[in-house]
Amino acid sequence: MADFEAIRRQFPILDQQVHGRPLVYLDSAATAQKPQAVIDAESGFYESINAGVHRGAHELAARSTVAFEDARAAMARFVGASAEEGHEELVVTAGATAGLNLLATAFGYASMGRGPAAARRFALGPGDEIVVSQAEHHSVLLPFQELAARTGATLTWLALDDEGRIRTDTADEVITDRTKVVAMTHVGNVTGAITDLAPVVRRAHEVGAVFVLDACQSVPHLPVDFHALDVDFAAFSAHKMYGPTGAGFLYGRRELLEALPPAWFGGSMVELAWMDKPAQYMDPPARFEAGTQPVAQVVAAGVAAQWLQSIGMDAVAGHEQALTSELLRLGDIPGVRILGPMSATARIGTVAFEVEGVHPHDVGQYIDAQGIAIRVGHHCAQPVHRHFGVYASNRASLGVYNTMDDVHALLDAVAGVRPFFGVGGTRAE
């Protein structure tokens, strides 16, 4: 049994007062806090290893390259991707947004005829379709909406049900034999709902489309195995999984990475460059890693993956699920509506809610004054909010370090919101 109290003590940032109260951090869906091991890995890299990777012949360059590649391999083992040399399936990116844009850009180049012959499978044109869902973060919606606009393809989407779950039961109708790309989130960053991926992935493959997964909100909270999920590409960010900002990974099935044209060009991605002949690009993953990479961050991200693996993702999910059941009691507070599934099954501990009669900005201010950090706004997912008929919402999201006390502090604070603002009764003194 993992000792979650001891785990919490590994996060130095949590040991502080905010507005005269102990900090309660409930905004891990935005970014997670970092355990000492990750902080030490990043600063330790600068203290004893720092050098460019894959270039130069000196000792530090060698150590740096080994640390970087070991981190890639550790992350690959953690998410069910190949770590084998020469068959790597993780591309280093600056984060999920960068990974998704890289992919959409590369598909765009494939549509213009760039890349190896095998890249034709990514080519889009008028009459073709890209399918997303209405639950998408803007980081999925916008790159693929732009790709559709650039290529003349049509963007269609799976709708949401009343609870905000993606209507995967409509996959067979929405995904047609014109569909070339399906891009979808594994876990909604507003609703916390876990997508039932199997019917969508199966249908995508049935019509010959590639399936792109946004794994940002699943990798930190659930056991995730990209091979087992049978997805073709997947993007996620290190900073949401207790690693540093500035680093992320794009998973691609090896044969697809080999078929994909590069999206960015520069140093370290080219084998032969000439003035008067086309360049010859490197094999993946280097082909997609132009320029100096966030090496210290990637090394620390590898440590974050090993750190999570040592706790065990089943234990992490179990811990968070127990807290989620309690957190969902938000829905019992008068005037509070949960925007997402009401039960703790097939969802994570990211819970968006509305307090009737009090704008999220005001709710957030009141909650913050109690030393509790939650997110307010549209969480980069405006269409999801439109689905629920609201402009913005409040969102509490759990991480490994949260406790029952944290959840109770939030429940108490939210219960005080309407009395404070004099809504649904008289103002509390």
Partner 1 sequence: MMPMAQDDGLEQMYQEVILEASKHPSGRVAFAPDLTDEAVSAGESTVMAPHEACAAGESHQFNPTCGDEATIHVDVSDAVPHRIERVVWDGHGCSISQASLSIMVDLVEGRTVDEAMDLFRTFHALMESRGAGLAEDAKADELGDAIVFQGVSKYPMRIKCALLGWEGLKDSMARALAQA
Ligand X SMILES: Cc1ncc(COP(=O)(O)O)c(C=O)c1O
Among 8, 34, 137, 180, binds ligand X (CB under 6 A): 137
Q: Is 379 in the site for partner 1 (CB under 8 A)?
A: no
Amino acid at 205: H
Is residue 370 near partner 1 by the rule CB under 8 A? yes
Q: Is 214 in the site for ligand X (CB under 6 A)?
A: yes
Residue 95 interacts with which of ligand X, partner 1, none, CB < 5 to 8 Å by class = ligand X
Would you count residue 389 as binding partner 1 (CB under 8 A)? yes
From the list 97, 105, 195, 306, which residue makes contact with ligand X (rule: CB under 6 A)?
A: 97
- Is 167 near partner 1 (CB under 8 A)? no
Among residues 2, 311, 380, 415, which one is catalytic? 380
Distance between CA 114 and CA 123 in Å, rounded? Answer: 9
Q: Note whether 375 binds partner 1 by CB under 8 A.
A: no
Q: In the complex, what is the shortest distance from the CB of residue 267 to ligand X, in angstroms, rounded to a whole number?
A: 23
Member of 35, 41, 90, 95 binding ligand X (CB under 6 A):
95
- In the stretch 325-344, what mask flags binding to partner 1 with x, by CB under 8 A? --------x-----------
> Scanning residues 10 to 29, which ones bind partner 1 (CB under 8 A)?
19-20
- Asked if 380 is an active-site residue, the reply is yes
Minimum CB distance to ligand X, residue 139 (Å): 4
Under the criterion CB under 8 A, does residue 118 sit at the interface with partner 1? Answer: no
Site size toward ligand X, by CB under 6 A: 13
Q: Which stretch, 17-25, 118-126, 209-217, 292-300, contacts ligand X (CB under 6 A)?
A: 209-217
Q: Binds 237, which of partner 1, ligand X, none (CB < 5 to 8 A, cut-off by type)?
A: ligand X
Among 68-76, 169-177, 210-218, 338-346, the segment contacting ligand X (CB under 6 A): 210-218
Strands 233-237, 248-252: pairing kind: antiparallel
- How large is the angle between the packed helices 96-111 and 138-151, nearest 10 degrees? 10
Q: Does 189 bind ligand X (CB under 6 A)?
A: yes
Per residue, the 3-state secondary structure of the chain, as one string, reads CCCHHHHHCCCHHHCCEECCEECEECECCCCCCCCHHHHHHHHHHHHHCCCCCCCCCCHHHHHHHHHHHHHHHHHHHHHCCCCCCCCCCEEEECCHHHHHHHHHHHHHHHHCCCCCHHHHHHCCCCCCEEEEECCCCHHHHHHHHHHHHHHCCEEEEECECCCCCECHHHHHHHCCCCEEEEEEECECCCCCEECCHHHHHHHHHHCCCEEEEECCCCCCCCCCCHHHHCCCEEEEEHHHHCCCCCCEEEEECHHHHHHCCCCCCCCCCEEECCCCCCCEECCCCHHHCCCCCCHHHHHHHHHHHHHHHHHCHHHHHHHHHHHHHHHHHHHHCCCEEECCCCCCCCECCEEEEEECCECHHHHHHHHHHCCEECEEECCCCHHHHHHCCCCCEEEEECCCCCCHHHHHHHHHHHHCHHHHHCCCCCCCC
Choose among ligand X, partner 1, none what residue 72 binds, the Cβ cut-off being 5 to 8 Å by kind: none
Judged by CB under 6 A, the stretch of 75-83, 90-98, 172-180, 307-315 that binds ligand X is 90-98
141 is a contact residue toward ligand X (CB under 6 A): no
- Options 48, 310, 343, 365; binder of partner 1; rule CB under 8 A: 365
Binding stretches for partner 1 (CB under 8 A): 19-20, 333, 358-362, 365-366, 369-370, 376-378, 383, 385-387, 389-392, 411-413, 415-416, 419-422, 427-428
Binding stretches for ligand X (CB under 6 A): 95-97, 137, 139, 185, 189, 214, 216-217, 237, 239, 380
Question: Annotated catalytic sites, by residue?
Answer: 380
